Amino acid sequence: MKTKRLLLTGALALWPALLSAQLLDPALLAKPATDAWPTYNGDYSGRRFSTLTQINQKNVKHLSLSWILRVQVGATPGSIIGGEEPKPAEGALTDPGISTIKATPLMLNGVLYFSTPDNVWAVDARSGIVIWHYYWKTKGGIHIGNRGVGIYGNWLFFETPDNYLVSLDARTGKERWHKVIADVKQEYFSTPAPIIVGNHVLVGIGGDSLDVPGFLRAYDPENGEIQWQWWSEPLKKSDAGGETWPDEYSMRHGGGMTWVPGTYDPDLHLYYLGTGNPNPVLTGKSRLGDNLYTCTIVALNVDTGKLVWHFQPSPHDTHDWDAAQTPVLIDGEIEGKPRKLLAQANRNGYFFLLDRTNGKSIVTAPMIETMNWSKGLSAAGQPIPDPAKEATIEGALVSPNTSGATNWPPPSFDPETGLFYVGTAATFSMFYLTDTDPHPEGWGAAERDAGFMGAYLNAIDYKTGKIVWKHKYLFGGGAVGMLTTAGKLLFTGDSGRNLIAFDPTNGDILWHAGLADGLSNGPITYLLDGQQYVIAGAGDSLYAFSLQD
C-alpha cells in the first residue's frame, strides 16, 4: 500500500501529456465509462454502470488498497489562490463541510479532478499524489458540500458556496474567469456539479433559509456569458403552471432549488432534472395548489432551456421531499416493446418509471412499507397527498421523515440484471405547526423524530417497481451512493464505515473494506495502464482500490 499526502509544487513538469492533450473527447459522455469517468454519473444516462470486468466476482476478494489521499483544505503551501476577498473568510476552515468529499471525482488521461467547498484538486490517478490545488477565498455561504466539477475541453468548472461559477485551466489549475450565479445575501448557496452538454455549462443552485426562487442556468464555457435561464416557478400568473399558485408573490418566493446534476438524452436533445421543495417549508397554507414546478421532474430543451414536459412526484409538498434525486435513463422494454424510459427513486418514498419522450407515467410503486402520507394514486400516476398528514399544532405522524425514504446520493441501474439499486430508510416523524401566520416565512413547522424502522439497500425491478431483494443495514443509516459493473458487482457503503461489494443479483456480500469515515458519495471505477481502480470518497479522504499482484 502506498499512502500519499503530498502537495507537489511544479508537479506539472511531470505531466507533458497533460499539458499538451485535450482532456475530454465529448463522445465519452454518451457511453458507459471505461478508461475515463468524464462526468458526474460516468455518462449522461445517470446509470452509474461500468462495462469493466477486470475486477469481478471471482477475484474481488483480492481487492486491496492502492493509495489514500487525505485532503488539506484552504490556503496551504503551493496552493493556487482565487476569489475576490483580500483574505479567506475568518473561521471558514472550521466548517466540516469544507473537507468532506461529497464530490464525484472525474478521471481523464490519468488525472482525477474533484472538489470540496472552495477547493479543487488535480491528483495523479495512479498514486494519489496532488498535482495542483486551487483554493477560493469565500465571501460566505453555507458550506454543506460540493458535488464536483465539470470538464469542457481543457477547462474545469465548479460552483462555490458564495455562488460563483469558476472556470480553471485543468492542466495548471490557473483561474480563467469567475461569474456570479446568485446573491449570497439572499441565502442562496451553490452545491451542484456543473454538467456540460455541447457548449452549455449547466449550473444549478441551492438555498434553504429565505423564500427565494430556484433556477437552472446555461453558461458559455468560453467566456462565462449566460445563454439561457429556466425558473422552477412561473414568474407571473399567466405563465404555464401559474394556476397552481395562489398569487405571484408565492411563486416568486417559492423555492424549487436545482440541487443535483441532471441527465441527458442526446437523441431527444432533452436534459432531465429534478427540482427542490416549495417554500415556505413544511406548511402550505400560503401557497395552495400543486406549486409547479417544485418537487418536479422536468425535461428541458438543452439549447433553449424551454420546458418540454413535466411530472410532479409530490404535488403541494409539505414535508421537504424534493424531487432532486437522479433521473436515471433506461432503454428497456415494457410489454414487449422497446421504450425510452426514465426512473427515479424519490425522497417521498415512491419509485417512478416514466416515458422520457413525454413524461407519461408507466409505474408508481412504494419503496418503503411504512409510508403513510398518500391516499393513493391519481390517473396520471401521481401520489395524492393526505391533508391529515400536514403539520398541525397537535402534531401529525408521518412516514418518511424530512430526510426522505432516500436522498441525493446517486442510485445505479445495471442493464445486465435489469435492477435499479438505491439506499432507503423507513422512518417516522411528528410534524408540528409552529408558524400560524397566514403568510409564514422560511420553515413553518418543526419536525421531531418518532421512529427508525431500518435502513436498506433495495434492488428494484424497473419494469414493475417491485423490490426483488433488499439488504438491511445492521447499523442503521440511509441513502448511500451506488456503482454497478459488468464484473457482476455492486459497490456501495454502509453506516458502519465500510465500502462493500454486493452480488447484484441477490444481495450477497462478496467483499468489504473498513474506511475511516462513511462513504460520502457514490464510488467510481476506471481502467488505467491496464489496471482497474475503484475510487471512494469518505469524509476528508479519497481511497483507491485495485487487484494486487
List the catalytic residues: 320
Alpha-carbon gap, residue 366 to 247, rounded angstroms: 33
Alpha-carbon gap, residue 210 to 493, rounded angstroms: 34
What is the grid cell recorded at 361? Answer: 407515467
Under a CB-based contact definition with an 8 Å cutoff, are residues 517 and 503 in contact? Answer: no
What is the grid cell recorded at 391? Answer: 403539520
What is the grid cell recorded at 390? Answer: 400536514
Give the N- to C-terminal CA distance of the chain in Å, as an integer: 12
DSSP state of 88: P
Alpha-carbon gap, residue 538 to 520, rounded angstroms: 5
Specify the residue for cell string 458559455: 220
Under a CB-based contact definition with an 8 Å cutoff, are residues 542 and 101 in contact? Answer: yes
What is the grid cell recorded at 529? Answer: 495502464
Alpha-carbon gap, residue 542 to 112, rounded angstroms: 10
CA distances from 318 to 138, 365, 386 (A): 33, 20, 11
Helical (H) or strand (E) element with 385: strand 383-385
Under a CB-based contact definition with an 8 Å cutoff, are residues 113 and 105 in contact? Answer: yes
Strands 63-70 and 2-4, by their bridges, are parallel
Alpha-carbon gap, residue 103 to 537, rounded angstroms: 8
Q: Which residues contact 20 (CB under 8 A, 6 or more apart)?
A: none
10 Å Cβ neighbour count for 11?
17
Strands 307-311 and 541-547, by their bridges, are unpaired
SS3 state at 19: helix
Size (the chain), residues: 549
Alpha-carbon gap, residue 441 to 422, rounded angstroms: 33
Q: Which residues contact 162 (CB under 8 A, 6 or more apart)?
A: 138, 139, 140, 141, 184, 189, 190
Under a CB-based contact definition with an 8 Å cutoff, are residues 314 and 323 in contact? Answer: yes
Alpha-carbon gap, residue 393 to 529, rounded angstroms: 62
Strand partners, 230: 216
